[in-house]
Amino acid sequence: MQKTVFENPSLLTSFSLKPKPKKREGWIAFLFLLPSLLVLGIFNFYPTFSIFWLSLFQWDNLSKVKKFIFLENFVSLMQNDRFWNALWVTLQYTLVVTVISIILGLVLAVLLNNRFLAGISFWRGLFFLPVVTPTVAAAMVWILLFNPGFGFVNVILRALGLEGLNWLADTTWALPTVMSLGVWRRLGFTLILYLAALQSLPKDYFDSAEVDGANAWQRFIYIIVPLLKSTTVMLIILGIIDSFLVFDQVLVLTRGGPANATEVIGMFMYSTSFSLFKLGYGAAISVVMFLVVALFTLLQWRIVGFGSVGDVE
C-alpha cells in the first residue's frame, strides 16, 4: 500500500519547491504591451529624439542637406535678446496664472464643498465649462470683450466714468489680458481637483477642530491647506508645464505683440521655425523648453515632495 506524505515526510523531498520559470508569462505580457509600446515609440519617443537631433543642425526645411553645426544653435540662442524676452514673458505668465488659479480654485472648492449649497451640480459644471471650451473660441470671445470700441469691459469702464483702453494693443495691458484668459481656462481644472481632494479628507480632523472651537478660517489654514499639500504641488507642476506650452491663445489674441510684449517662448519657437524657416534653431528652442520644464518638476519634487506619506501627516 502506498504511503501518504503524512506517514512518510521524506516524500516531501521529491517535490520541487522552486517556482516554475515565468518566461512564458513574460513573453505574453510583452505581446500585450507591444501595441502600446509601438504607439509610444512612434508618437512620443521618436519625435522627442528627432527634436534633440535636429537641434544640432542648420536647416531651412527646403534644402535637402542639413548642415551639422553641433551646439551653435544653443550658443546663438543664449546670445539672442528676443529669446530672453520670450523666457521672461513666459515666466511672468507662469507665475501669475498659476498662483491666481490655485488660490481662486482652492477658495471656490471650499465654498462648493458644502452639501447645503443650492444647485451645487450646476455651479460645478459652470466652473468646469472653460476647461472643455476650445481655446480658439475662447480667445475670439476675449477679443470681443476687450475690443477698444464696443467691448464689454470698456463699456463698463465708461459707465463708471473711466477711460477705456486698447487692451490688446497696449504694451502694458496686453500681457495681463492674455493672463486673464489663462486664469479663466485653468480655474475649472484646479477647482475640480481640489474639490475631489477635499471630499477624500478624513472627517475626524474637522470634528476634532470643531470640538476645540476652531473657526472656519482656522480650519482652512491649519487643516485644509496642509492636507492638500500634495494636490497643490501637483497643480503647480501642471501649471508650469501648461504655461510653458501656451501658444494658441497668444497666436489668436496678439501674435506675440505689441512689440513682443506677449511673445511667450512657444510663440517665439513658432515664428522662428515657420516664419523664418529656421527649423534647427526652432528645435533648439524646443529642447530648452523641455529642459526648463524638467528642471522645475525636479525642483518641486525635491523641495516639497510629491505624493509621499509625509505630505498628509
The string of pLDDT tens digits covering residues 100-123 is: 999 999 999 998 887 777 777 888
What span, in angstroms and rounded, lies between the C-alpha atoms of 43 and 69? Answer: 27
Tell the residue number behind the cell numbers 501627516, with chain if given.
313
- pLDDT band of 3, cuts 50, 70, 90: low
Range of lowest pLDDT (51-65, 129-143, 185-199, 245-259): 51-65
**DSSP state, 57?**
E
C-alpha span between 91 and 201 (Å, rounded): 33
67 in helix, strand or coil? strand
Q: Give the tens place of pLDDT for each residue, 164-181.
A: 899 999 999 999 999 999
Residues 6+ apart with CB under 8 A from 58: 66, 67, 69, 72, 73, 278, 280, 281
Question: Is 173:165 a contact under the CB 8 Å cutoff?
Answer: yes
pLDDT averaged over every residue in the chain: 86
Rounded to two decimals, the pTM is: 0.82
- Lowest average pLDDT, out of 9-18, 206-215, 223-232, goes to 9-18
Percent of all residues in the chain with a pLDDT value above 70, rounded to a whole number: 89
pLDDT band at residue 309 using 50, 70 and 90 as cut-offs: very low
Q: 311 falls in which pLDDT band (50, 70, 90)?
A: very low
pLDDT at 299: 75
Looking at residue 87, its pLDDT comes to 92
Q: What is the mean predicted confidence (pLDDT) over 27-34? A: 86
Q: Is the pLDDT of residue 264 over 90?
A: yes
pLDDT tens per residue, range 183-206: 999 999 999 999 989 988 888 888
Quick one: which of 312, 110, 109 has its CA closest to 229? 312
CB under 8 A, 24+ apart: contacts of 214-221? 220/110
Mean pLDDT, residues 58-78 = 89
List C-alpha distances in Å: 299 to 129, 294, 308: 32, 9, 15
The model's pLDDT over 117-163, given as tens digits with 9 standing for 90+, comes to: 777 788 888 888 888 899 999 999 999 999 998 899 999 999 999 98
* Inter-CA distances, 302 with 13, 139, 230, 313, Å: 52, 36, 13, 18
Domains of the chain: 72-312 (1.10.3720.10)
CA-to-CA distance for 249 and 270, rounded, in angstroms? Answer: 13
Share of the chain above pLDDT 90, in %: 50
pLDDT score of 304: 60
